[in-house]
A and B are shown apart, each in its own frame.
Chain A
Amino acid sequence: MLFSSLTFLYMFLPCVTLLYFISPKQTKNFVLLVSSLVFYAWGEPRFVAVMLVSIIMGYVFGILIEKFNERPLLSKSLTVLSVISSLSTLFYFKYANFFIENFSKIFGISVPLLNVVLPIGISFYTFQILSYTVDVYRGNTKAQKNFINLATYISFFPQLIAGPIVRYTHIEKELSQRTHSFEKIAYGIKRFIYGLSKKIILANSFGELCALFNQSSEKTVLFFWIYIISFMLQIYFDFSGYSDMAIGLGKIFGFNFPENFRYPFASKTITDFWRRWHITLGSWFRDYVYIPLGGSRCSKPKMLLNIFTVWMLTGFWHGAEWNFVLWGIYFAILLIIEKFFLLKFLGKRKILSHIYVFFFITVSFVIFATDSPNAALTHLASMFSLSKLPLVSPESIYYLKSFAPTLILGLIISAALLKKMQPAIATSKLAKNTLEVSEIIFILTLFTVCTAYLVDGSFNPFLYFKF
């Protein structure tokens, strides 16, 4: 089920919220678990079994790893086994066909592809299970004995299909003991509606513009630029919108999820960008791959190898295609260059650093958006007028004019310019009160507009079927 759907907003959400708040404390997690399974099953019921098996394995391994924690070898073996079993499931559904296809190409033979469809959210919940069992092994947390609690953590619908990647340690206490208040609910509602608006009003508009570009047979240099900027904004607002909705919903049910985006387009370096973009994924790879590999506390060649490994895997996590691997390597190279040469230089040059980030992030999205290195190069050549395309056409000018206010709004919001204005406005108590009351009217308006978009059946793509 999608958050940005009438079924979710006007059927699922009121039913679940009502059931949740009228049910006694000891059954609240059960209500959330059943609701999450219904949420997941809606549209693709066959994959509930895959998720349940993964949860059961995580549960059993967690208990066994803890039980044998005084026998390090056995405990370690169980952890390795748990990691292998989780990754095998992910590999089978997500990566098997990629490897079969490439194997066939390399050896010139025809190996039939597996008839599998990627279960939605598998990359997210697999990483949550991995972090749980590894944390139990490391002694960072105790194994969860209550199956419902663990299953609720893994399958909890707000973060199930598009993150953030919530670690068990983030919400361990809240699973058994959490508080609810109007303050949290009101915050949750506001956060949810801001996220919903980002998705429906902004991300979907940019998505529509991207679709118009893809359909057009009269591409121009201008249209290539409009496309890539729209694509960047679409991915940002879709992903951060989903994260906002997840954080907001979590808050309504008494959970505090970690932040996942912090205005990444306002970054001054690529290193900074990755501290602000999909934060929970970056920190997951840091804590469960980069540091175990030795991190930066090792020889330089080893450290470089570690960085490449982590970023190749980060890219590959986004999808089983070469462009994502290339995308990861591209960032590895940039981050290494920054680490050794550029960071200090950029630190003193504010405007130049923003231009630098804009340029290299734009190129990264070209790699992300295309399906091969050749296609990426062709796209870049078109953007920089190196192909024989005309600069403009009536069509590209029309779409620029038509989407200009939305693009400007998207750029202002994504660059945190509105946020910077907030303290300047809210100086007095009266101003703060006025702002708070106005905010209610504002989000009610946003919610009405979002509903209107959905009722009108507007363009509403789902981007996470590859993750």
Chain B
Amino acid sequence: MNKNLINIITTVIFSLTICSLSLIFIISPKKVFSDSERRELAKKPLLNSENISSGDFAEKFETYMADQFPKRESFRSIKAHFITEILGKKDNNEIFSVKGHLSKLDPEENHAMTEHAAEKFTYIYNNFIKDKVGNVYLTIIPDKNYVLAEKNGYPSMDYDTFIENFKNKVPFMEYIEIRDLLDADDYYKTDSHWRQEKITDIALRIAEKTGTELSLSDYEINTVSKPFYGVYAGQSGLNPKPDTIFYLTNDTIDNCKITYYDDFGNTYEGKLYDSEKALGKDPYEMFLSGSKAIVEIENPNSESDKELVIFRDSFASSLAPLLAGGYKKIILADIRYIKSYALEHFVDFTNSDVLFAYSTSLLNNSMSLN
């Protein structure tokens, strides 16, 4: 082929590629939110002398371009597939895949964070629980990596040491072991959370250890129609197959009365399973409507007078409905959204057992605990 023709083709192809993408970027409407990454996308930075002289404008403009670039999701996918399939890298943006299970490489144990969490729990124990009659339990939910990473050659935090260390920081709590009940299929493939339909054994273990009678044989499995792309699906860029969310119901669960507290302490009734959230950006939020400071689950048909207070993160949202049959009342407190010192206004610890149910990932990144 004529050499000059090749040169012309090269020049034209690249000029057109660059110019067309630039033009599309300039004229296309800008997006506010990335559903796949579950985050707000950068807006065009303000063009003023302060921003320009500080260099902020340049930095923010680059972020804005990356966030609003034409065909952004396709480019992210190209990068993910290139890095994992062509360069053979075992993770992309720290997300790795084992037989369709996505997980994130662990950071090392952050001692300052676990110390912070233990201090918060100790404060709650000393100020609200110590002199009451109930028992205090702790269960630590290991990250998905506990069952996935090490056996598949990925570096992993030493979860056994992590949990032992944490137990020693809060010796006033009776530990409920659940690690032996978990395997990879108990977690969503594309998300960090566990699957409600797979953790009935964990609910029974907790009930047994807290001396509560609980029957979970009569439940019905329901399906959420919207495909569930978990938090790792978007981060990985690998276009994985979605999960399906199942949720369990029975007469006890259906008859429970749910009370939520808003930010001002006012109460309102809600649902255990929020059908609106099930169709929203994070369908896992269907369990107890996602992030809430205080939630009460009252079981009017309870034969027991026992009450349980659960200090928790999002893992307990799908666990608590399964425990509802064993208690007259369960109060869930999430101290990421309420100051610990304000708990006494919302939670009565007088005759309650208390369960601290936290995931390793939250304990290892606990600055959000108030």
Q: B32 contacts the other chain (Cβ, under 8 Å)? A: no
B1 in the interface (beta carbon within 8 A): yes
> B179 → chain A, closest Cβ, in Å?
19
Q: Which residue of B4, B72, B80, B88 is within 8 Å of A183 (Cβ)?
A: B4
Question: How many angstroms between the C-alpha atoms of A44 and B90 in the bound complex?
Answer: 37
**Residues of chain B lying within 8 A (CB to CB) of residue A190:** 10
Taking the nearest CB of chain A, how far is it from the CB of B233, in angstroms?
15
Contact assessment for A43 and B55 in the assembled complex, using a CB-CB cutoff below 8 Å: yes
Contact A457 B66 (CB under 8 A): yes
Q: Check if A27 is an interface residue, CB within 8 A of chain B.
A: no
Tell me if B27 counts as interface (CB < 8 A to partner A): no
- Which of A1, A42, A205, A452 is close to B76, meaning CB atoms less than 8 Å apart? A452
The listed residue (A6, A397, A402, A452) touching B65 by CB distance below 8 A is A6
Interface presence of B87 (CB below 8 A): yes
Docked-complex contact A45 and B1, CB < 8 angstroms: no
A contacts, CB < 8 Å to B: 1, 5-7, 9-11, 13-14, 17, 42-46, 181-183, 185-187, 189-190, 193, 201, 205, 217-218, 394-395, 397-399, 401-406, 409, 433, 436-437, 440, 443-444, 447-449, 451-458
Could you say which of A10, A395, A401 has the most chain B C-beta atoms within 10 Å of its C-beta?
A10
Task: Provide the main secondary structure of the chain A interface.
Answer: helix
CB<8 Å pairs between A and B, sample of 16: A45-B52, A182-B8, A182-B10, A189-B14, A190-B10, A205-B89, A217-B108, A399-B155, A401-B90, A402-B91, A405-B87, A406-B87, A437-B6, A447-B17, A448-B78, A451-B75
Q: Is B181 an interface residue (CB 8 A)?
A: no
Interface check B326, CB cutoff 8 A: no
**Known A452-B82, A455-B69, A457-B66; contact A11-B22, beta-carbon cutoff 8 A:** yes
Cβ B66 vs Cβ A454 within 8 A? yes
Q: In whole angstroms, what is the CA distance A218 to B9 when docked?
A: 52
Q: Which 3 A-B pairs have the closest CB atoms?
A: A186-B7, A452-B79, A405-B88
Known contacts: A10-B18, A43-B58, A436-B6. The answer to whether A449 contacts B78 by CB under 8 A is: yes
Choice from A5, A185, A457 contacting B11 with Cβ under 8 Å: A185
Q: Are B13 and A453 in contact (CB under 8 A)?
A: no
Name 6 extra pairs, CB < 8 A, besides A189-B10, A436-B3: A11-B22, A43-B59, A186-B10, A398-B90, A402-B91, A451-B75
Cross-chain contact A402 with B90 (CB below 8 angstroms):
yes
- A13-B18, A182-B7, A185-B11 given; A45·B53 CB < 8 A: yes
Smallest CB-CB separation from B88: which chain A residue?
Answer: A405
List A contacts of B261 (CB < 8 A): none
CB neighbors of A among B193-239 (8 A): 237
* CB pair A7 B4 closer than 8 Å: no
Cα distance, A440 to B13, chains bound together (Å): 9
With A398-B90, A402-B90 known as contacts, the answer to whether A433 contacts B1 (CB < 8 A) is: yes
Q: Are B11 and A455 in contact, CB atoms less than 8 angstroms apart?
A: no
State A456–B63 Cα separation when bound (angstroms).
10
B11 touches A182 (CB 8 A): yes
Shortest CB distance B258–A (Å): 40
How does the 8 Å CB contact mask read for B120-131 relative to A, with 1 for contact and 0 for none?
000000000000
Closest to A404 in B: B88
CB of B22 within 8 A of CB of A14, answer yes
Residues of B within 8 A of A186 (CB): 6-8, 10-11
Q: Are B82 and A185 in contact (CB under 8 A)?
A: no
Contact B18 A183 (CB under 8 A): no
Contact A455–B155 (Cβ < 8 Å)? no
Smallest CB separation, A44 vs chain B (Å): 6
**Docked CA distance A456–B66 (Å):** 7
CA distance A11 to B8 in the complex (A): 22
Q: Which B residues touch A44, using CB under 8 A?
A: 55
CB neighbours (8 Å) of B172 from chain A are none
Bound complex: CA of A409 vs CA of B87, how far in Å?
9
Query: Which B residues between 6 and 59 are near A, CB-CB below 8 angstroms?
Result: 6-11, 13-15, 17-19, 21-22, 25, 52-53, 55, 58-59
Q: Per a CB cutoff under 8 Å, which of A14, A405, A433, A440 touches B10? A: A440
CB distance B7 to A401 under 8 Å?
no
